[in-house]
A and B are shown apart, each in its own frame.
Chain A
């Protein structure tokens, strides 16, 4: 029996040496003439594949993709189609040997090169994490300047691909706005040297009244408004000097107020002179803000008519606003981290600014910054600096500028003159690659220090750093961003099941999305073998997901089930018969590979081929259905027409033969990934037969099968991780690096963490091809 996936996925049997390659012209071409070119010819190439044009081996050597495809199809027994003449075992062996061999020969003939990653813009996640670490601020509810960034384009299944991460005027607008909000949040720009005071004499107070505008006749306004440019969020005080003359038995009610705050009321019931009323208000963001004294209507009825001599009158003599009241000993941590110098007796404002920027810019640009470069930012400070304003107010401008600089927004890797068409990245470029790969953020102080000492290019140091970064909680960024895209479960957010399938509540959705990430993270950081990803004896769930799975309660929580926080994601050991464990039986995967109203064996099978085995089936042919439009049965079809229709069906069948059985193995899981024995009234049949005749019984059978195809899985995972790590699609010349990593990982006990180490130490990660190698 042929082993389907080993050949299919690993693609190239290890033992085939190039010198044993069967002769193309005398042995292989005749075989293809006999079995293939009837359909795959130049005139009307089925599946857009022509095998007629490869007249000799030299021509064949130009078409690696074609032979890889042929190898997959032939060894998978998908081609030739069932009702076409079949090659003999010997012929099949010859074909396999040659196609596998020629792919290897092409790879061997491809000059090794590390490849070129296109300069990457920080994607939204990376931007968020980077400003968080650079500025030392936290994103919290109601504060997320990145919320409205345009969605990042995706390529090769990931959203960190340099070629696809474009920038538009819309991005630029948002980056500018975000920079302003972020710096405003990070540093205090006003009030450090004491609160500012605005006194507004009565005649400059803006008054507004819907009915009675203020004039000189003593008419009464309803509101007295002071409009002030607030430079800094914080506590402000507003006070009013008021004289009142209220008739006996009457009351006047006034309130001091600002946007978004509750009014604080003052009641006047008799005669007062120059009475000062005051209240504290919190201003949450800088900008032009109104503070006002309002004449209160009680239940929409004034207690007295303003200016009504019979009832009394109120005279506002002045309004005064002061602030912000900043406690200098409790400035935010971000402020203390950024503003490391202030002007003083022995330091001019420009000198202090230069000190701040000399510390900030290298962290913002993730590399040393020359004095010339820095001077531009110092100049920007100097131009904005006003002696009457605070030092920080002017400093905010160059800080904002740094956040929209190409050196910040892009991960720049400078072009070098390479030897032999490629060059090694410098220490700082490497620090960024490492940090964005494992943490999705800027390099930390230790990485920058090592880079500064020139040590990071040392593989031994690099490996220690990989392990340090993986052990740090920040490495969850890798698990989150990689796994959610590798498994294609980001679509879960928008998945709306049909009503009869039930609902996915918010907590269940969170539980579903988290499970595969937590499992991957444990395998990664606890040095477990990657086979755990296929079949683990544990999983993670929050309250709702545990219920969804009908998981038995955790022993340690048995007595106090009710007390388990439903939000908390806990680790569960998987008893036999719970049908869980491993990524592919997670509800998230099973749901995103379903239609809203029914399961889709096709989607699920395709998912296994794509995500786990790295052998996605080709897309359906274009306008596929056009060919299968039902013809009028009254018209008699010609033999040719019927053959056409048959071939079309065969073209579909060849892929569905691979996808569908793998998908049927999941039939015991419903649209939302719950276990089921029946679909409606029908018993579930989860048995499946692979194209090579191998039979699987349900997911247990599939898991067992995948475990025997460990190398294929390891290779697929390595390819995805390498794509994510580099931020570019893989090219044929990367095959060697991938194979090396897979082999090395196998030798190291198949630990997932070794794949990560292997990637970081690989040539594509540490080097770059020159533009014209």
Chain B
């Protein structure tokens, strides 16, 4: 193995420092005692939960966890459990049925989806992760990662009048542009650590220059929605061009020992989720990005769980009708997903950084935009937060807020910790108190 000399690497980066911020380096931190950057992670689960076995009655320091949260017992000191956070904009507001697409697109936007089967797709605002990526993405090789462990589904003709795009994405770059998710771990790894050969990236840039020029000419002969489509295209071209430049500015770091590039999509769901979470951890550890979201499944997911010994699908059980057998199956699924979150927490905790672990610098949001799939309600959502964002919040507690406190209030706090000061985020009414204790 080729030996790397940390100091000489640092010197190289310093030379670039005038134009490019320093990527985070473990050795550098130890030398200079610089605080690791804050990272934001988001784990989305569809269909709500078996609320009775999820929720905690008592506020204050976490003692005994609920049955659903019990897989997190060993990391409860890193956990905040919320009560009464709500997504009011996920409610129908007179739009009628279609809870799953509406809920999914409201999760990180806290905004309302415009009911459309295809024309004028839009939500009321951009998502939290994309806002963070747009403001701080220039500091890392990739602005953000959008991952999923489930194939996007086509809802057929009747998803209550919503196009499938609403249930297949939680990240919205603009109110009209959902961000597609990447499912293939091999390709995520390639995105994170792929190297550009100099000649090749120059050739690619010349191709991009040409098509950008074409786009300008073409724009003149288009009108209406066609122009918006072309804007989307132009944005994508520019973004790829920037990535090429960034790939040169942020050279690939030496990967942690033992890193094995993943293969394609594992056939078994638990393996797929695990490898995606490994990639999130690796991305944070190497400071490849500071913002990552993972959809454990798409909205309204019909995933089957033969490996849990239950026969029907998540969505089916989520409409439990209070039947004990349905609730038991749903509980098993809830617990399974919570365990995956536990895996991510433990993984990040196992990676030393500064005086502690990578987890310390993180704020990891876990939850569902529905409380109970049988009711499709939006109040008192199942929401967890792990990590302390570099000591900015004090985990290890359950906090109960007033009923119908907007989830967006928490999003404002998260943005604060991430270093972005916003007056409002969607329907926020202020910041959550007591996060620091």
Question: Which of A's residues lie within 8 Å of B, judged by CB?
Answer: 48, 116, 118-119, 121, 148, 150-151, 153-157, 159, 161-164, 166-173, 176, 288, 373, 376-377, 380, 383-384, 397, 400-401, 404-407, 409-410, 412-415, 485, 488, 490-491, 494, 496, 498-500, 595-597, 606, 610-611, 616, 618-626, 629-630, 720, 728-729, 770-771
A377 to B210, Cβ gap below 8 A? yes
A–B pairs, 19, beta carbons within 8 Å:
A118-B229, A119-B230, A121-B229, A155-B121, A156-B117, A157-B154, A161-B163, A163-B119, A163-B121, A166-B232, A167-B233, A167-B236, A169-B236, A376-B214, A380-B210, A410-B229, A412-B226, A619-B161, A720-B157
A142 to chain B, nearest CB (A): 13
Question: Complex Cα distance A610/B302, Å?
Answer: 20
The answer to whether residues A728 and B377 also contact, given A119-B222, A154-B154, A164-B165 and a CB cut-off of 8 A, is: no
A619 to B96, Cβ gap below 8 A? yes
Closest chain A residue, CB of each to CB of B156:
A488
Question: Complex Cα distance A622/B112, Å?
Answer: 14
A491 to B156, Cβ gap below 8 A? yes
**Residue of A151, A498, A596, A630 contacting most chain B CB atoms (<10 Å):** A151
A168 to B177, Cβ gap below 8 A? yes
A172 to B236, Cβ gap below 8 A? yes
A349 to chain B, nearest CB (A): 17
Closest chain A residue, CB of each to CB of B94:
A48
Closest chain A residue, CB of each to CB of B154:
A154
A164 to B118, Cβ gap below 8 A? yes
Q: Which residues of A contact B226 (CB under 8 A)?
A: 118-119, 412-413, 415
Q: Which residues of A contact B177 (CB under 8 A)?
A: 166, 168
B187 to chain A, nearest CB (A): 6
Interface: B155 (CB within 8 A): yes
Q: Which residues of B in the span 239-258 have a Cβ within 8 Å of any Cβ on A?
A: 239-240, 243
B240 to A173, Cβ gap below 8 A? yes
Interface: B221 (CB within 8 A): yes
Q: Which residues of B contact A171 (CB under 8 A)?
A: 180, 236
A415 to B97, Cβ gap below 8 A? no
Of the listed stretches B32-40, B49-57, B199-207, B335-343, name the one at the interface; the rest are far from the partner chain. Answer: B199-207
Closest chain A residue, CB of each to CB of B120:
A163
A148 to B181, Cβ gap below 8 A? no
A626 to B376, Cβ gap below 8 A? yes
B117 to A729, Cβ gap below 8 A? yes
Q: Which residues of A contact B215 (CB under 8 A)?
A: 406
Interface 0/1 of B112-147, CB less than 8 Å to A:
000011111100000000000000000000000000
B152 to chain A, nearest CB (A): 4
Other than the given A153-B178, A406-B215, 10 more pairs (CB < 8 A) read A162-B229, A168-B180, A404-B211, A406-B218, A407-B214, A596-B316, A606-B158, A616-B157, A619-B160, A622-B91
B206 to A169, Cβ gap below 8 A? no
Interface: B9 (CB within 8 A): no
B375 to A625, Cβ gap below 8 A? yes
Q: Which residues of A contact B313 (CB under 8 A)?
A: 595-596
Q: Which residues of B contact A162 (CB under 8 A)?
A: 225, 229
A623 to B211, Cβ gap below 8 A? no
Interface: B14 (CB within 8 A): no
Question: Complex Cα distance A405/B233, Å?
Answer: 10
B243 to A169, Cβ gap below 8 A? yes
Question: Which of B's residues lie within 8 Å of A, judged by CB?
Answer: 91-92, 94-99, 116-121, 151-158, 160-161, 163-165, 168, 173, 177-182, 184, 187, 191, 197, 203-204, 206-207, 210-211, 213-215, 218, 221-226, 229-230, 232-233, 235-237, 239-240, 243, 302, 304, 306, 311-313, 316, 319, 321-322, 374-377
The answer to whether residues A155 and B377 also contact, given A118-B229, A166-B178, A728-B119 and a CB cut-off of 8 A, is: no
Q: Which residues of A contact B164 (CB under 8 A)?
A: 153-155, 164
**Residue of A163, A377, A597 contacting most chain B CB atoms (<10 Å):** A163
B154 to A407, Cβ gap below 8 A? no
B225 to A119, Cβ gap below 8 A? yes
Question: Complex Cα distance A414/B98, Å?
Answer: 36
A500 to B311, Cβ gap below 8 A? yes
Q: Which residues of A contact B151 (CB under 8 A)?
A: 151, 494
Closest chain A residue, CB of each to CB of B150:
A494
Q: Which residues of A contact B221 (CB under 8 A)?
A: 412, 414-415
A610 to B240, Cβ gap below 8 A? no
The answer to whether residues A616 and B158 also contact, given A119-B230, A622-B376 and a CB cut-off of 8 A, is: yes
A499 to B236, Cβ gap below 8 A? no
A771 to B224, Cβ gap below 8 A? yes
B142 to chain A, nearest CB (A): 10
Question: Complex Cα distance A172/B173, Å?
Answer: 15
A386 to chain B, nearest CB (A): 11
Question: Complex Cα distance A494/B297, Å?
Answer: 13
Question: Complex Cα distance A597/B309, Å?
Answer: 13
B207 to chain A, nearest CB (A): 4
Question: Complex Cα distance A400/B207, Å?
Answer: 8
Question: Complex Cα distance A771/B223, Å?
Answer: 6
Question: Complex Cα distance A610/B157, Å?
Answer: 8
